[in-house]
Amino acid sequence: KEFRNNVKPNWCPGCGDFSVQASIQRAAANVGLEPEQLAVVSGIGCSGRISGYINCYGFHGVHGRALPIAQGLKMANRELTVIAAGGDGDGFAIGMGHTVHAIRRNMNITYIVMDNQIYGLTKGQTSPRSATGFVTKSTPAGSIESAISPIELALSVGATFVAQSFSSDLKGLTELIEMGIKHEGFSLINVFSPCVTYNKVNTYDWFKENIVPVDTIEGYDPHNRIKAMAASMEHKGLLTGLIYQNKEQKPYEQLVAGFKEQGLASQDIRLSDEDFAKLVAEFA
């Protein structure tokens, strides 16, 4: 199964997004998908280009709107595996409202955030993931605001799958994406994906020194939401691995009342001449 295409990524050499692209391609192949069974929907930002770099259905949407498109796609075609992807600015600033509600809606979608803690495409401004004191062109005296923790945010609004990874860990990231695809419900995978051009603080070396894999925490239980929240707070949002999973909660599309098991793409929605005439008469 070939998820590579002929498009050469337009990312800076060393950008973390290369590994995320490779991990999605490997994970899709490992779970046995064919290219026509996968759709990748993205927003705007350097990372938003990813939907054009994978051999599958791709939709490069508008800023912060990858998730509404992905959810519409999934509702219309249940057969598709849908991955939404974007950056931390896309998902946690302009798209934050969609992110929160997509998490609590729990549709069967995998959302991969390439989190580099800065805006790369617009040449280096503070993002909602930048730490307090972070100096950029938009915050020359240092950011006054505090950084959002995607993990704690997701846990607090009822996420059923929360994971975090580092783009240098190709194997671990691939495994988490496979788990996210297989999870029945919404899976958030936040990936530390360094911007080598504009973020000189949160570098590869910085992450290597600061991340805390959950498998190094004795007795860590990814099925306990309260403990997952406490561990994330204790380790300043830098946990990596499967942080939380709830396999009991059914996805939205299995629960919504009166909705047919098949999506619109599989239904015959044409009206007979008789039904069409009735409809016209009703509104005449």
Cα separation, 36 vs 113, in Å, equals 23
Residue 178 Cβ vs ligand SF4, minimum distance, rounded to whole Å: 24
Cα separation, 255 vs 111, in Å, equals 21
Residue 66 Cβ vs ligand SF4, minimum distance, rounded to whole Å: 16
Interface pick for ligand SF4 out of 23, 116, 136, 240 (rule CB under 6 A): 116
Longest CA–CA span in the chain (Å) reads 70
Element (H, E) at 115: strand 110-115
120 binds ligand SF4 (CB under 6 A): yes
197 binds ligand SF4 (CB under 6 A): yes
196 binds ligand SF4 (CB under 6 A): yes
Helix (H, G, I), strand (E, B) or coil at 118: coil
Cα separation, 89 vs 182, in Å, equals 27
Closer CB to ligand SF4, residue 56 or residue 195?
A: 195
Interface pick for ligand SF4 out of 20, 39, 40, 46 (rule CB under 6 A): 46
Chain-centre distance of CA 199, in angstroms? 21
15 binds ligand SF4 (CB under 6 A): yes
201 binds ligand SF4 (CB under 6 A): no
126 binds ligand SF4 (CB under 6 A): no
17 binds ligand SF4 (CB under 6 A): yes
* Structure-block tokens of residue 141: 């005296």
Cα separation, 147 vs 110, in Å, equals 23
Give residues in contact with ligand SF4 (CB under 6 A): 11-12, 15, 17, 46, 116, 120-121, 195-198
